Amino acid sequence: MGTRSSLAKLSRELYPGLGVIDENIVSVDDANTFTGNLTANAGLILGLQTVVAAGSDESDAGAITAQGGAVVLCSTADNTKGIILPALSASSVGEVYIILNNLSNKTLKVYPGAGDAINPLSDDTAVILAADTMLICIAQDAVQWFSGELPVSAA
């Protein structure tokens, strides 16, 4: 684990166009958790994972990997198959997944983990994600994902 000054130096070396992490505003603890505000002077890059839609319910849906990346690409929707979010018991409050249904004519089922809920639905109920759009899910607490589906963009 580095010190605050080495954190600022490392940010300058690794991300010269991004700006500098100000060691007076941001700190990192031993669990690699940032405290404070980060300012990006360029685009924010999130990790991407591809998940294959599968199954007919939450027990056999394609699984989103907790450390696989915040952006989840699914191009295998077929109006019946789905993917499942990580269990909230293994997630941190504020954890975010942006789920992309990359097909123009098929819906995708997005399930919460067993016993969890994606608002405004009840526990263990899938959100039906429209074709060619995205769903943003944020871990609100230990039992519910807060979600919002973006409208399909006009051509």
Q: Where are the domains of the chain?
A: 4-35, 48-149
pLDDT computed for residue 153 by the predictor = 77
For the chain, residues with pLDDT lower than 50 are 1-5, 20
Give the end-to-end CA distance of the chain in Å, rounded to a whole number.
Answer: 49
Query: Is 48-149 a domain of CATH 2.40.10?
Result: no
User: What is the model's pLDDT at position 67?
Assistant: 87
Rounded to two decimals, the pTM is 0.77
Q: What is the pLDDT of residue 127?
A: 97
What is the structure's pLDDT at 141? 95
The residues, any chain, with a CB within 8 Å of residue 112's CB and separated by 6 or more, are 58, 84, 85, 88, 118, 123, 124, 125, 145
pLDDT value for 152: 81
pLDDT of residue 1: 43
Q: Kindly report, residue by residue over 8-25, the tens digit of the pLDDT.
A: 565 556 555 555 455 555
Residue type, 93: V
